[in-house]
Amino acid sequence: MMHDYLPINRIDMNIRGWKQCDFVYVVGDAYVDHPSFGHAIISRLLEAHGYKVGIISQPDWKDKKSIQILGEPKLGFLVSGGNMDSMVNHYSVSKKRRQQDAYTPDGAMGKRPDYATTVYCNLIRSVYKDAPIIVGGIEASLRRFAHYDYWSDRLKHSILIDSQADLISYGMGEKSIVEVADALSSGIDIKDITFIEGTVYKANSLDSVYDYQLLPTFDSMKADKLEYAKSYYIQYSNTDPFLGKRLVEPYKDNLFVVQNPPSKPLSEEEMDFTYGLPYMRNYHPSYEEQGGIPAIREIKFSLINNRGCFGACSFCALTFHQGRIIQARSHESLIDEAKKLIEEPDFKGYIHDVGGPTADFRHPACEKQTTKGACSNRQCLFPEPCKNLNPDHSDYIELLRKLRNLPKVKKVFIRSGIRFDYVLADPGKKFLKELCEHHVSGQLKVAPEHVADKVLSKMGKPKNDVYREFVKEYNEMNGRLGKKQYLVPYLMSSHPGSGLHEAIELAEYLRDLGYMPEQVQDFYPTPSTISTCMYYTGIDPRTMEKVYVPTNPHEKAMQRALIQYRNPKNYDLVVEALKLAGRTDLIGFEKKCLIRPRTGGPKSNIDGKSGKYNGNMGKAEVQSSEGQKNRKRKTIRNVHKKAAKK
């Protein structure tokens, strides 16, 4: 095995003495050979199992030759849109084109297409008609069944159908991709690889499919959003590798999408093996003259200590992608990697993060999960911590101590986020002390997301009282330690369940806190989350009850403005929202008021009692002066109609 970057052209193949690759990995990101990048993990893992893997990074999807630079692989193509969903990568929640792509040389935009996985697969299929194509990564994993697509505002097929791929390796993929590779290597046709956990395939009939649960048909879901909500919750309830059933989604009489149960979690030894592979730990040298890859800056001096998350927030896709069972690396593995970081010439003494989806989850939520899986009918932390939860931070504390005692290490930060309710559930408060004393740099970022319990319940987050208790404990601990350190809360506007009244409640909390966030995250409907299902259907799939969803751009702008009510640019929107919600008591000169009065202000079509938008105008119309005139005319017509009825 040559310790070098994997081949990206024929010259590299010749140096290695290869005439043909076993697999060609096509990816929407630049080639970064680092374990924070999915394409690096999968390609290095296959290499470790004896397979020859070449990389085609960011091919020109308008040029067939770009997909032919390594020739046709012996066993098949692997395709991923990249570390980040290509649509989230390209567009903000307001569907405006982003200006930078951190996974591209010098942050340049336009190096990958929208819906990159599908486009790359169709490009491959146009050249290599019969080559096996296996898709993976976050983009494919979250589109494995029919899904709501926010950017086109419609229900879309499973990505298997639109991409013409043969197989999805969903989730993190280490186990399933090696099994797929071994099956192909043994001579099994790709169409007969129907038996591997963690994969999704197409079937012409169900004659050979056994022990499955049938989902609603695509046509029925397209016709009735209630059917989609039912289907989604069945999928959500079958994400556990021990309890999950085989699922089948019918399309036509001779077309079915079949999902096998998820792969089993990696053991500690398997995690150590995966992260101990011979990565070059940097972007390919060919990018140097192009300005390098910005994304490497965030992760070069960080350590991934776990994967999976039993927090299960409604707006997060981790349950669908990584699962709820925590998988962690050993102390030895992490210390070995830390020693490599220390030897880097540009290491300044700071380990930027020792984390994962949730940094302080170092073991499964309870002992049962390691053999029987996570409960399908209850959450570990929501609405309250389960009585079987084991909120023990002792292993994490020991790991952090070992890392910060390494030579040349000045400070070890925790930046990828902690669960404040999990910290509070640990009765000893040892971790809170350790955190405040050693691992915070002036500010600790936490994610309460909101303060209205009505909204928090839809988010799957703990009640506001829990966050307030954490704030109290955090401040008291810093006081005892003689430190001035602050909390920076992440907040979200316009999540399902949030109307103007709830947005105002959040604004009042920020007023009392004396804090105005510089940035506000509008809820972003991405594939395969509970919150996105609520956004599309207006139904909470967990209860099948209706839920209010703010979808109109003007109403969403008001909710966002309320969080940043001190910004003069938001004044008119804040006044409008307060008047509509009947909260003009917050306009004045008293201490409790959000803003001071002034003359003027726009009209609106928001119902003052419910806080709901009662018009049907699009974004462009709302933002234009002509649109405002049309709304005014429509309002006047509605008033006359109501008067006539009376």
Residue 383, preceding peptide bond in cis (omega within 30° of 0)? yes
CB-count burial class (<10 Å; 0-12, 13-18, 19+) for 221? buried
Contact 220, 251 (CB under 8 A): no
CB-count burial class (<10 Å; 0-12, 13-18, 19+) for 75? buried
Q: Is 313 annotated as a binding residue?
A: yes
Q: Is 436 annotated as a binding residue?
A: no
Pairing of strands 212-214, 199-203: unpaired
Kindly report the backbone phi and psi dihedral angles of residue 637, in degrees, each rounded to the nearest multiple of 5, phi listed first.
Answer: -60, -40
| Separation between Cα atoms, residue 484 and residue 94, nearest integer Å | 37
Question: If we measure between CA atoms, which residue out of 477, 503, 475 comes closest to residue 487?
Answer: 475
Question: If we measure between CA atoms, which residue out of 628, 599, 613, 533 comes closest to residue 235?
Answer: 533
| Separation between Cα atoms, residue 381 and residue 361, nearest integer Å | 12
With tokens 């994997």, the residue in question is: 6
| Separation between Cα atoms, residue 229 and residue 535, nearest integer Å | 11
| Separation between Cα atoms, residue 432 and residue 435, nearest integer Å | 5
Give the other-Cβ count within 10 Å of 286's Cβ.
Answer: 14
Angle, to 10 degrees, between the axis of helix 571-580 and the axis of helix 553-563? Answer: 100
Tokens at residue 173, please?
A: 């993929």
Q: Provide the edge-to-edge strand list for the sheet that holds 133-136.
A: 53-57, 23-27, 76-80, 133-136, 167-169, 199-203, 255-259, 246-252, 212-214
Q: What is the CA radius of gyration of the chain?
A: 26
Q: Is 375 annotated as a binding residue?
A: no
Kindly report the backbone phi and psi dihedral angles of residue 418, in degrees, each rounded to the nearest multiple of 5, phi listed first.
Answer: -120, 160
CB-count burial class (<10 Å; 0-12, 13-18, 19+) for 102? middle
Contact 380, 389 (CB under 8 A): yes
Annotated binding site: 309, 313, 316
Annotated binding site for [4Fe-4S] cluster: 309, 313, 316
